[in-house]
Homo-oligomer: A and B are copies of this chain.
Amino acid sequence: MRWSKSLIPTLKEVPQEAEAISHQLMLRAGLIRKLASGTYSYLPLGFKVLKKVERIIREEMDKNGAQEVLLPALQPVELWMESGRYSDLGEDMVRFKDRHGKEVVLGPTHEEVITDLVRKEVKSYRQLPIILYQLQTKFRDEIRPRFGVIRSKEFIMKDAYSFDRDIEGLNSSYEKMYKAYCRIFERCGLSYIIVKADPGIMGGNVSHEFMVLAQNGEDEIVNCPSCGYAASLAKAECPERIAKHDPCPRCGKELKIEHAIEIGHIFKLGTKYSKSLGAKFLDEDGKEKEIIMGCYGIGVNRIVASIIEEHHDEDGIIWPISISPFEVLILPVNPTHAESMEFAEEVYTSLLNDGIDTLLDDRDERPGIKFKDADLIGIPFRIVIGEKNLKSGKVEIKVRKTKEVITINKGEVISTIKDLLKKQKEIYGKSKV
């Protein structure tokens, strides 16, 4: 992409409205713009990051045999009556009357809809187990939207639902999803903490939250630096005690209380929905049984914000290669200098032909602005083409994260970049799971 033709409106000043660093940087780097309280437009750069996160999620879901579907956002209120959750979400749930006076729910989550689908289509144990998922916009009328896309009224969720014959099946589906989540967050470059959590209105008795530490995170967790014990503060064995920094219930050493953002939450639902909605199957033994369910959510927009919370410095964002909007930025310092632009175009074409996602800063702006913007939008590798260097056959490659500058012969630029990219990709391709 050529910067001069793109809508990447960077901002010099820190927007007053934004408290969280990720919110500030998403606005400053031109990733998002606010439309109204709790709703944001994703501009081209932000959208590209969103798509890369979605791709990682899809790959890890598909690898585990989960099948992608797309359910309606408009939901009949009757399903919420059936499940008994009609009032559970309170005013957070958007409801309206359609032109015929019928009450409609604007989907905040899809347990009811998916259970309705499965109760109609799955009849036999032969059709189980099955995991269905979707990437879809959800709606919640948040009383106080905050921190940009972290708490908004409209957000993209990956919601998956597992259907099994028995508890062993559920345990196995749950473990699959648990591991898939670990891989997803690792590939996104996130350091996450897993805590046992309260299933709350979702129901069931086992649930785990995936949390990323962040200054403005709305959740609190207790974390033991010594033994790795972690728990959501609400669920911790004795919140009052822990709040006083008393010893870790596992190893006895001191606990830390930290703020965190919830990026994923998985639940063993059991029969909560299959019972109330009557989702049954005929088992091998000829008996009719309730389907055993699990559900698994990821906040896609929150992942983007969390990555920025973790990966930034005073100059801007530092994208992990796996979800960076571009892999390489080409920066000709003086775009009115014919040879600089000629070489920049040559490198640009060559990288694009090799399938490398490249942004060419062909704007006729002062070098100071271009360098500042480059730091701000945080593309991992930057090829700086300067007049002087070029005369002696040299160009510079700057690594955004380490600020390291490598001066190389211009003939080596493609091979050097490919090498750097390969090494970076190996890091984010690896997983402990």
Contacts and interface: CB of A to CB of B under 8 A. Distances in A.
Contacts of A201: none
Interface stretch (A93-101, A179-187, A326-334): A93-101
B36 A76 contact: yes
Contact of A50 (B9, B70, B137): B70
B40 A72 contact: yes
A41 B72 contact: yes
Contacts of A99: 91, 141, 143
A98 B36 CA distance: 13
Nearest to A95: B96
Contacts of A141: 98-99
Interface string A61-90: 000010111111111100000000000000
A116 interface: yes
A22 to B, nearest CB: 18
A84 B71 CA distance: 33
A31 B67 CA distance: 13
B7 A41 contact: no
Contact of A44 (B68, B94, B139): B68
Contacts of A41: 69-72, 113, 117
Contact of A65 (B5, B67, B68, B130): B5
Contacts of A94: 96, 98
Contacts of A59: none
A7 B43 CA distance: 36
A343 interface: no
A72 B138 CA distance: 11
Nearest to A99: B91
Interface string A415-429: 000000000000000
B130 A74 contact: no
A369 interface: no
Contacts of A40: 72
B5 A130 contact: yes
A385 B224 CA distance: 59
A116 B35 contact: yes
A147 to B, nearest CB: 17
A66 to B, nearest CB: 10
Nearest to A129: B5
A155 to B, nearest CB: 10
A39 interface: yes
A4 B127 CA distance: 7
A240 interface: no
Contacts of A130: 5, 7
Contacts of A36: 72, 74-76
B76 A33 contact: no
B67 A44 contact: yes
Contacts of A51: 68
B6 A67 contact: yes
Contacts of A47: 68-70
Contact of A33 (B96, B120, B127, B143): B120
A258 interface: no
A47 B132 CA distance: 12
Nearest to A118: B7
Contacts of A313: none
Nearest 4 interchain pairs by C-beta:
A96-B96, A39-B72, A42-B70, A44-B67
14 contacts: A1-B67, A7-B121, A33-B121, A35-B74, A35-B113, A40-B72, A41-B72, A44-B69, A47-B69, A47-B70, A51-B68, A73-B154, A94-B98, A95-B96
